[in-house]
Structure 1
Amino acid sequence: MKYRLGGLKRFMGVFLATVLAVSVPSTGAFGATTYYNQKTEQAVTRGVVYEKSSRMTDAGIQNLHVLKVDLTESTLEFKAVESTVEYGLKETAKKILTDNGAIAGVNADFFGLTGSYSASFGPVLNDGELVSAGTSINHDENQYASFFMDEDNNPFFDYFKMTAIFANDQKAIELASINKVTSMVFPIYFDRQAADNTAAIDKRFDGLVKFVVEDDEITYITQPGETVEVPEDGYLIVMSKDYRTNAAGFFQIGDTITLNVNTSIDLDDMEIGFGGGGKLLIQGTEAPATSIVATGRQPRTAFGVSQDGDTAIFMVVDGRGDSIGATHSEMANYMREYGAYDAMHLDGGGSSTMVVQTVEDTQPTVKNTVSEGSERKIMNAVGIFQTAETGEIEQIAISPSLTRTVPNKTLTFKVYGLDEYYNRIEVPASEVNLQAIGVKGTWNGYDFTPSESGTFAVTATYNGLGASTTGIVSGVTSRLKPSADIKLNKAGETSKIAMQVVDTDGFSHWVSSTTKYEVADPSVGTMNGNAFTAAKAGSTYIKCSRDGQTAYIKVTVGDNKTVSTPQATSAADPLQKKVAKANDGAYYLNMIGTVAYSGGAKIDENTYVDVRTKVRNAVDSNAEVAIYGGKSDIKTAPTIDTLSWTGGYRFLNRGGTSLAMVTAAKGGIRATDPSQYASLTRDLDATNNDTIIIVMDKTPGDFSSSAETAYFRSILGKYVNQGKTVFVVSCSGAGQWTSIKDGVRYINLPNLWKTDGSVNGNFSMLKFRINGDDVSYEIAKV
């Protein structure tokens, strides 16, 4: 067709008929099987929801990040965006999206990885205008798919192809692109969709020659390297000096020009379009992977639309870290799970990035874990935009900076308004009435400092609107946890102390500036806040005090020996008490570890029987339930209700307590039997008991995968947040220990026998008293 002046608005393309032979594998046949799925969902704006889905599968952890966009919302739009700093400049997805005013988005098209500048491979159309397109993709085979939406909001995916011929009455040359600036080996079309002048590309490339075209005529030809303005109602043809000399010398000022651009898609009716990788779904069926789709499990980004065209789905799957990534087939299944009917890959690997500003966020943030440790600079992103003007506040919300603290450590409760489109509207603290219910404390604007321990709620009122948040905890300090001892070379040097407290539920809190510090020998140095400054060479220690507990930091200045310090103090676990069975309506449980001996030593038969009989009598006495947490070979029948270790998953409910046995013998639950995740969470959710006891053969801290350790602990955290008391009891080794972390009590019960066949003097029994949510435990030698 002939080019229309005044900017390349739309093309009336010549369609290239392409028939794809699609082979369809059975869906899910080669994908990972999900056994547990942790989901969180947050509103972004009206019609847009962000969801994180963290799945434990038989292959490992897969973290999915999903944006679902309701396309029937008239004020929402999405489009491809690039750097606002300089055309062709690569920047992070967060910066590109933030600078363009997007509320959410993902990385988009493929691009050249080398250098600070590049161009996306596929076409870009925004608001009915063609921003850029290239002639190099999909001519030999269909590799890079593109998404388009027409003026009637009909979405579709196709393999876009384009040719562009620039000619006078003597000869023609083929253009490499429209507004895509790469290596400048071949000439390109350049208009105001790219830039107002050529200054930026002249800095990048030496000796560029430009044909200025207006009204189908070459009105000016520059000298090599000369910067010119791009005509408002025209365009430039930009080429290297060598190309002008060797291949385009027949063009002269005054030539009448024809620009013929042929496309496989009729762009005349298109409103938006952007490029990506190969197709992922075709009418609900997995598309065959094209040659540019990376094999195996990789970090991936995808985009799709529902069958009715009313919903857009953006997805990023993390990979190359704790999350194992996804295969092409898995990505197709996940997109289909979230409602996509047609979909394509976007650029993946280190480029995979999802940026979102939820209603709780004050600015866009990266929600996924990028695989290279920091954001890769990319060429373009697909942004989601809320075009509605900010309206009147219709509701308020309250967002705490933390959900747990300790006395005299400040939390911030930010209150903000939302209009009908969920646009966030900041509200001055002076206009909000805030109240803490359940603990005493002081307010300073939005900041609250509790003066005591307890669980509390906070309510907010503003202009007749209300909001509240509950379950905030001000914990009891168990112990102080200072940074490392201080060693300085000479007087005048300073070192800051980083201080944490650990509360009695095992949560850590930074309290560096609210801890009291005293230098035992002030002549060696002094404290200013949490900073120690040496006054002379010598040795001393710093006493750290908070909430009735103390800890000590050794200090040496110069070449001096360290001094000894007093013993640090700590508060006992309030749940660890003497347990004696009484007729008080409570439920009593006894638990022991491994009783059977599996070593090679020879044990006297009478000793073996006597010791096991003593253990049996102890675990069977003064309780309703006996639990054998490890392998047992005692043959005599139990006298009370008994749960015995079998090496597989077991579960029962007793006295308002959920008792589960889980094996991680092969280094983790997933490696041993991942289906236990499904069984455990299903059973715990179904019972709704106040107390949970999980018995294992390996403590989670010893899993071979630290990612699985964190994942398992996050599952337990869900029940802690519900107010449940959670114990994880491992039964292995020769030692007894207890540890509290993030609200979960981890206890190890040792084996009855040492490896040499002698009786383990550390062998202990765990005794529980449970009466609703009143739980106590004791560890007693047997």
Structure 2
Amino acid sequence: MTRRAALRRTLAFLVALGALVGAAPAGAVPAAVEIAPGVTYEEFDLPAAGGTTHVHVLGVDLGVPDTRLGLLYPGAVAARATVSRMAGDQGAVGGVNGDFFNITESQHPGVEATGASVGPAIAEGRALKGAVPNGQRFGPAMPSGVTTEAVFGVGADRRARLDRLALDGKVSTPEGTLPLGGFNQYALPVDSVGAFTGEWGSASRARATCGTDTDRAAACSTETYEVTVRDGRVVSASGTPGGGAIAPDTTVLVGREEGARQLRKVATGDAVTVSHSLVASASQEAFGFALGGYPVLSGGEPLPGLDDRTSAVRTAVGIADAGRRVLLLAVDGSSAYRSGLTIAEVAEALRARGSTEGFSLDGGGSTTLVTRAPGASTVAVRNHPSGGAERPVPNGIGVFSAA
């Protein structure tokens, strides 16, 4: 496609989108339905370069005291459930799917996919996991300069924001202090030590030592070591990563390459302490909840280099009114609309509806938007999942109302 043709294509999309959200005839966009105080739901057709698509949007006013956003997850990092089940179990009135995740392990025979998400995650102010190395990410290419540490979340000030969350941690042993390279992650940096807690779940930790920082498909490390710490003392060790549930008072340390060599210096009975936290790059307020993905809109402008050719079913979140209003957008996966949107079109769609910041979440067969109809006791799936049924996912964004 020539530069002039690409420009014509983009201008046509913007003109059509502007007509839809600005000067559309009466009835072109159905009035939003109130799901709960400060929470609305609407669906409408959206013109796109690949053909008309259909989108579902949840609008959330965080200025309403009884309304909030939170992390949907199945109770463990390395686990998956459908959005409708997580929303129902947690009492949400609506929600969408969340981060990209470790969905398959065809490159590593004998190693099971963990189902764990790519980026950091925080639930109710509690850090659940850190971000895997950039090269270990599942999902489409990110914009230039973006890392797996990117998050969308809501702070203690009840304002939504985008940021980066980096892991800050250490392991103190009689031999010295080691930097902590990972926290409840399906992939650890080369030469590092990672910590796994009860939040991880019961999935095998073997995947954490496979691949490299730049190549997800690289072979699993041949030099690994695992140490189990309970109540501040080493109680056991193993030459290979294990699996199974981890008790609340226990931390399992997994090392690869140089990290494994350092852990081998620790003996049973030694005192070992582990500390970890997720540190925000820009936010002054602590996050009440956060999850990973990647930004597509910043300061009201699309990030440079966004893909404008590949149309697909997408899920995204927009931030408007200085973080007081949030839009949760899901493209319908019905065969009639499956051409979907490009990432560039997602950014424009969010901006056209008032968002100044935009964030892409997992799409394709994962894309799901659920709401509870007024008076109903359970949520229902509003879009048509492209796989024909809901895909189990590791997390999502839940909309909660105490009203």
Instruction: Tell me, yes or no, whether TM beats 0.5.
Output: yes
TM-score, normalised with respect to structure 1: 0.40
Q: Alpha-carbon deviation of 1:67? A: 0.3
Aligned pair in 2 of structure 1 residues 382, 138: CA closer, same or farther (>3 Å)? farther
SS in 1 for 2:326: strand
- Counterpart AA for 1:97: A
- Counterpart AA for 1:201: A
SS in 2 for 1:39: coil
Aligned residues: 352
CA contact (8 A) 1:133 1:177 kept: yes
Matched, 1:212 2:229: yes
Question: Is the radius of gyration larger for structure 1 or structure 2?
Answer: 1
In structure 1, distance between residues paired with 2:309 and 2:145 = 18
CA contact (8 A) 1:42 1:358 kept: no
Matched, 1:275 2:291: yes
Matched, 1:29 2:19: no
Name 1:201's counterpart in structure 2.
203
- In the TM superposition, 1:161-310 aligns within 5 A as 161-162=166-167, 164-181=169-186, 187-194=193-200, 200-201=202-203, 209-212=226-229, 214=231, 217-222=232-237, 230-232=247-249, 235-239=250-254, 246-252=261-267, 253-257=269-273, 259=275, 263-265=279-281, 269-289=285-305, 295-310=309-324
Q: Alpha-carbon deviation of 1:256? A: 5.0
CA contact (8 A) 1:208 1:226 kept: no
- Counterpart AA for 1:190: F
Matched, 1:125 2:127: no
Q: Alpha-carbon deviation of 1:304? A: 1.7
CA contact (8 A) 2:72 2:87 kept: yes
Name 1:142's counterpart in structure 2.
146
Name 2:83's counterpart in structure 1.
93
CA contact (8 A) 1:135 1:164 kept: no
In structure 1, distance between residues paired with 2:278 and 2:188 = 23
Q: Alpha-carbon deviation of 1:360? A: 5.3
- In the TM superposition, 1:536-615 aligns within 5 A as none
CA contact (8 A) 2:174 2:266 kept: no
Match of 1:157 among 153, 162, 168: 162
Name 2:107's counterpart in structure 1.
none
Match of 2:71 among 77, 80, 91: 80
Aligned pair in 2 of structure 1 residues 337, 96: CA closer, same or farther (>3 Å)? same
Aligned pair in 2 of structure 1 residues 218, 265: CA closer, same or farther (>3 Å)? farther
In structure 1, distance between residues paired with 2:260 and 2:12 = 56
CA contact (8 A) 2:171 2:272 kept: no
Aligned pair in 2 of structure 1 residues 170, 370: CA closer, same or farther (>3 Å)? same
CA contact (8 A) 1:218 1:256 kept: yes
Q: Alpha-carbon deviation of 1:90? A: 1.9
Name 1:363's counterpart in structure 2.
378
In structure 2, distance between residues paired with 1:354 and 1:244 = 41
Larger relative contact order, structure 1 or 2 (CA cutoff 8 Å, min sep 6): 2
Q: What CA deviation, in whole Å up to 9, does each residue of 1:407-447 have, x standing for no partner?
A: xxxxxxxxxxxxxx3xxxxxxxxxxxxxxxxxxxxxxxxxx
Matched, 1:315 2:321: no
Matched, 1:351 2:353: no
- Counterpart AA for 1:212: V
Identity level (%): 21
Q: Alpha-carbon deviation of 1:177? A: 2.5
Q: Alpha-carbon deviation of 1:344? A: 0.8
In structure 2, distance between residues paired with 1:49 and 1:123 = 28
Name 1:53's counterpart in structure 2.
44
TM-score, normalised with respect to structure 2: 0.74
CA contact (8 A) 2:228 2:236 kept: yes
In structure 2, distance between residues paired with 1:268 and 1:130 = 17
CA contact (8 A) 2:255 2:263 kept: no
Aligned pair in 2 of structure 1 residues 173, 267: CA closer, same or farther (>3 Å)? farther
CA contact (8 A) 1:136 1:176 kept: no
Q: Alpha-carbon deviation of 1:69? A: 0.6
- In the TM superposition, 1:315-334 aligns within 5 A as 315-319=329-333, 321-323=335-337, 324-334=339-349
Q: Alpha-carbon deviation of 1:116? A: 5.9
Q: Alpha-carbon deviation of 1:342? A: 1.2
Q: What CA deviation, in whole Å up to 9, does each residue of 1:656-680 have, x standing for no partner?
A: xxxxxxxxxxxxxxxxxxxxxxxxx
- In the TM superposition, 1:495-506 aligns within 5 A as none
Aligned pair in 2 of structure 1 residues 164, 343: CA closer, same or farther (>3 Å)? same
CA contact (8 A) 1:110 1:120 kept: yes
Q: Alpha-carbon deviation of 1:105? A: 0.4
Name 1:374's counterpart in structure 2.
389
CA contact (8 A) 1:213 1:220 kept: yes
In structure 2, distance between residues paired with 1:138 and 1:156 = 25
CA contact (8 A) 1:69 1:312 kept: yes
CA contact (8 A) 1:39 1:54 kept: no
SS in 1 for 2:86: helix
Aligned pair in 2 of structure 1 residues 76, 328: CA closer, same or farther (>3 Å)? same
